[in-house]
Structure 1
Amino acid sequence: MPPRLPSRLPTGLPSRCVGAAAAGLACALAFEPLAWAWLAPIGVAGMVLAVRDLSVRRAVLVAAVFAAAFFYPLIWWMRVVGIDAWILLAGIQTAWLALVGPLVARVQRWPGGPLWVAAAWLASEVARSSQPFGGFPWGRLGFATADTPLAEALPYVGVHGAGFLAALLGATLAAAVVRLRAPTDGTSRVRRGARALAPAGVVALLVALPVLLPWRDVVGLDDPGADHAAGTLRVAAVQGNVPGRGDDVLVDVEQLTRNHVDLTVDLAERVETGEVAPPDLVVWPENSTAVDPFRDATVGAGIERAVAAIDRPVLVGAIVDAQDPGQVLNQGIVWEPGTGPSDRYTKWHPVPFGEYIPLRSGPLTAWVGRLDLVARDMVAGTRETPLEVAGTLVADAICFDVGYDDGLYAQVRRGAELAVVQTSNAMFVFTDQIDQQFAMSRLRALETGKHVVVTAINGVSGVIAPDGTVTASAAPRTAEVLLADVALNDATTPAVHLAPWLGRAAVWLSAAAALLLVVGRVRRRRSRLVDHGAPPAAPTRAHEPALQG
């Protein structure tokens, strides 16, 4: 272990908790609606300093304060589902980061401490994005990097790598603060400052490396049509709007589908008059049919009418009954003119307790009465190949799928040339959730090097270029059709292959670090027992007379 550096940091637990709370709030402000991304590394640095040298219990407490100040404001939008749901979900996320506190408290003193801290942070993101019940990916630091220099690294290391670099930057800042505040050891202030800023040079090199490497030309990221051209596709993204107040897709399901039908038919009339060029593909959002179009004759006839009018494939977002009457599917269905439904994608990540009830027969259902409103469980999809539509391979993601890596990565690795995100978000239309999710779609465009077309039922819809630029968008609570010519690109960026391994490596390294700390703690306890000697044994009699009966 390196020698201990006195930090002159606040040692009182209350002051550390206050600092941790401020740092957590800073991390929350790095995301939408403010998106002050520069606060994310500062927030991480504050958390690292707040837990420095604390015992396990105190580190857990301080890290929990930080995490609560981070997650509770970040997902305040969850209150529209229920205050209890907001408290529970944010509490689960808080627990994951709290568990990392003791690890961060110790490994920051190791050689290469900032790297160990960044690995621990990424490991916590991997864990909470997968557990429990599929996890929850909101608040990953990589999702706050679209408009920062770290965005240059996204095509190479993905959201995992960008989050790692943001955490590394924060941990390095914390290390520099500790060195600058340490009592002088006779070295000059200039030399101490240079020593403190040395780790920042490593971070700067890691951030600049992707820009300097020639991979951009190899994978055609500067010009998506350079070496991996697959032509262009004219896409129409339909945002039909939700009847009534706009936050309940079930208030009038027939009118909801009719809104999308009418906009598509109107588009067909504009094409016929020569006002606009015909699209190659029309995309409707998730829940554009909130009932099964194969069982509801009115809804099915409406879709057929729209497809016949535009005479192009329409990717319909539909709720479809499963074979089991207690289950349902959330699908993107390619509806072809003349032949009807063909290729389908099923949502990979249904929302637990919102779209399906884990442990439905358990006591939780009895305790939370509103869970009865989820009458049927949504079944998760497993498709890994992109949809074949209009002669193009299209990667689909439905709503919260965009926050997870697995589904999109699988489709991109198998040749997807374009990505679409079909989403509803009607329940959250008056909250910041819709902006946070749209930001995730921008990150997906950057890391995959592909156009991403987002169709939301009533906002936010948009077309995103491979560099993250939003080239067209529709405001929330409006009915609009976005028309855009998007470049097709069958390139696979390094991020799609490397990012999952970065996550696994962070988990393995953090587990190994935790194991080393536990083993070291056990050895130190044994050593102290040996140094102080074993307690004397109680005297015994060598010859005890036998009892006489």
Structure 2
Amino acid sequence: MVKRLCLAIGAGLSLSAAYEPLALAWLLPPAVACYALALRGLTVRRAGLVGLAFGVAFYFTHIAWMRTSIGPDAWAALSSVEAAFYGLLGLTVPLLRRLPAWPVWLAAAWTTMETIRSGWPFSGMPWGRLSFAAIDTPAAPAVAYLSMTGLSFVLALAGFALAHLIEGVLEHRARGQLVRRGAGLVAVAALLLAPALFPYQVSTSGTTTVAVVQGDVPGPGNNILYDSLGVTENHVDATVALAADVAAGRAPRPDFVLWPENSTATDPFRPGPVRQGILEAASTIGVPVVVGALVDDGPDHILNQGVVWDPATGPGERYTKRHPVPYGEYIPFRRYWDPKFGQLALISRDMKSGTRTEPLRVAGVSLADAICFDVVYDDVMPPQVRDGAELLAVQTSNASFIFTHQVEQQFAITRLRAIEAGRWLTVASTNGRSGVIDPDGEVVATAEPRTTAVLVNEVGLSSDLTPAMRMGPWPSRLLAVVALLALVWGGVAYRRGRGTPHRRGAGTEEDAVRNSSTPSPDESTRVG
């Protein structure tokens, strides 16, 4: 059992290394394969324990940035919850491995687990989905065909198919069986890599010029509230300076300007210096400015919004952040528990969730907006694209994470969203990382963190839908049904196996490890 735990922990650490900052994506299939190998031949309870060890090793390191940016208590609590999902998945492995072609069913269960933990508890935590590690790999173009969910499924399938082949080698299976298992692995690899040879292309229906403003954050750089008025002033000054460059012919005139989340931490609809600054910036540049603003919603609530501010007509359409962060932007069940300690004491008002799924209309362009963590959720940008969005935008404030690797992890996910939607994407951050991304996920322009910069770029517009956008939420739904049916089928097989302990190959997991000629758990029964 100790060896199993060590293998699971090593696999979890390897999977963590597949993401930024190391971005060793080639480790992903072996890490997933080792997850399956570590649970091979175990009872349900022991499989859950080993799966939990994998989850702890993976998630505590994957979001280590939260320990220093938000606090060790929040990091430990969230990591523990997310790690538990891998333990729960482990409980299903002995059942699913009883089935023929078990890598398929286990990959469906893994992907369904990712979907569930991405939305629960509260608003969930999608960080750590397998697909998020695919940027800058030959598998990245597949997301336009498969969606984020479909890509996670195929990546998980590749890992489990690799485990299936390794088991065959360890058990000295007949050559024909090894060839079939190897052929299955090759087929999955081909499914992953073929889109790199035939990437999905969307047609361009026009262009627009966008100015992305990164104003920078005064003081230590990791606290928006240190000088919130200074943050707004920086974005106003950068926009006014851009207007001067446009007037002098040093820069092209943008069709609209994109400011980041929290570019105003004071309600811009109230009279005061923040509102005056926005009016000055919009009137000087002479085009709409999409402002990232915290807006009052009564004495107990606030809204995190992207507001289209027209130089002539003032504020217009608004997008409200759909996924505020629990215990970061609101306190769940505050009526029963209102903490007044640590970082939680700073959350005096709860942030409400938005419901908008249609794109904003900005300077004649349909713009799909997402605010910060919204970009990692499947119910934010994809619905807006299906509703006609021609261009994507992310307004983010990574100031709290500016000294951590969260910034690069989020930027990698953002690049994948551009590929998935087949759209240009613009990112405005308060102090990093801002950028302009093309539909292939390539970074066309970017600004150095902790600097004031303005990126003015002509970007393409499109109304075509990639296969991923056409499928919508159906991959998640279908895989959930497949996983549920497989669990029922596997549960029946598992109970039957427990009732026939003297069949060939029955015994403890230690017996299976010592005797390499013992049939694999998917083809034999053992005492549970």
Q: TM-score, normalised by structure 2?
A: 0.91
Q: Specify which of 54, 58, 61 is matched with residue 42 of structure 2.
A: 54
How many angstroms does 1:206 deviate by?
2.4
Partner SS state of residue 419, structure 1: strand
Equivalent residue for 2:334? 360
Matched AA of 1:274? G
* Cα pair distance change 1:388/1:93, threshold 3 Å: same
Counterpart residue identity of residue 43, structure 1: A
With over 3 angstroms needed to count, the CA separation of the structure-2 counterparts of 1:521 and 1:175, relative to structure 1, is: closer
Give the aligned partner of residue 430 of structure 2: 457
Partner of 2:522: none
**Within-5 A mapping of 1:416-427:** 416-427=389-400
Q: Aligned pair 1:203/2:188, yes or no? A: yes
Deviations 1:272-318 (A, max 9, x none): 01111101110000000011011251100000000011001100000
- What SS does the aligned partner of 2:225 have? coil
C-alpha distance 61-204 of structure 1, shift in aligned 2 (>3 A):
same
Counterpart pick for 2:201 among 215, 219, 222: 222
Pick closer, same or farther for the CA change 1:193–1:400 going to 2, 3 Å: same
Q: What is residue 395 of structure 1 aligned with on the other side? A: 368
Match of 2:27 among 39, 47, 50: 39
The number of residue pairs the alignment matches comes to 500
> Deviations along 1:32-53, whole A, 9 cap, x unmatched?
1111111111110010100011
Correspondence for 1:150 among 139, 142, 146: 139
The residue that corresponds to 1:6 in the other structure is: none
Aligned to 1:280: 255
**C-alpha displacement at 1:509, in angstroms?**
1.9
Return the offset for 1:325: 1.2
Contact 2:97–2:490 (CA<8 Å) still a contact in 1? no
Do the aligned partners of residues 92 and 368 (structure 1) sit closer, same or farther apart at CA in structure 2, a change above 3 Å counting? farther
Which residue does the alignment assign to 2:523? none
- SS of equivalent residue, structure 2 residue 219: coil
Aligned to 2:10: 22
Q: If the length of structure 1 is used for normalisation, what is the TM-score?
A: 0.88
Give the 5 Å matches for 1:65-76: 65-76=53-64
1:241 equivalenced with 2:216 (yes/no): yes
2-side partners of 1:24 and 1:407: how far apart?
A: 29
> 3-state SS of the aligned residue for 1:252?
helix
Deviation at 1:525, TM superposition (A): 6.5
Corresponding position of 2:302: 328
**Unaligned 5+ runs, structure 2:** 502-528
2:236 aligned residue: 261
Write the deviation string for residues 361-383 of structure 1: whole angstroms up to 9, x where unpaired: 234x4485542211001010000
Corresponding residue for 1:130? 119
Secondary structure, in 3 states, of the residue corresponding to 1:38?
Answer: helix
Residues 505/223 of structure 1: CA separation in 2 closer, same or farther (3 Å cut): closer
8 Å Cα contact 2:416-2:441 kept in structure 1: yes
Provide the rounded CA distance (Å) in 2 between the counterparts of 1:29 and 1:425. 22
Aligned partner of 1:354: which letter?
A: G
Q: 1:380 is paired with a residue of what secondary structure? A: coil
Shift of 1:108: 3.3
User: Which of structures 1 and 2 has the larger relative contact order (alpha carbons within 8 angstroms, sep 6+)?
Assistant: 2
AA partner of residue 28 (structure 1): S
Superposed CA RMSD in Å reads 1.8
Match of 2:382 among 397, 406, 409: 409
Query: 1:515 corresponds to which residue?
Result: 488
Shift in Å, 1:120: 1.0
1:399 Cα deviation from its structure 2 partner = 0.2
Shift of 1:204: 2.8
Report the CA distance between 1:209 and its aligned residue. Answer: 5.4
- Contiguous gaps of at least 5 residues in structure 1: 1-12, 529-549
User: CA 1:212–1:306 in 2, change beyond 3 Å: closer, same or farther?
Assistant: closer
Conservation of the 8 A alpha-carbon contact between 2:44 and 2:93: no
Alpha-carbon offset, residue 207 of structure 1: 2.4
Contact (CA 8 Å) 2:157, 2:188: kept in 1 or not? yes
> Residue in 1 aligned with 2:471?
498
1:161, CA displacement in angstroms?
A: 1.1
2:518 matched residue in structure 1: none
- Is 2:357 aligned against 1:384? yes
Which residue of 2 is the match for residue 181 of structure 1? 170
Deviation of the 1:208 alpha carbon:
4.8
In 2 relative to 1, CA 114–424 (structure 1 residues): closer, same or farther, beyond 3 Å? same
Specify whether residues 211 and 32 from structure 1 end up closer, same or farther in structure 2 by C-alpha distance, changes over 3 A only: closer
Report the residue type matching 1:503 in the other structure.
S
The letter of the residue matching 1:70 is: F
Q: Deviations over 1:169-215 (max 9, x none)?
A: 1001100000111135xx45xx45423412112213422555687xx
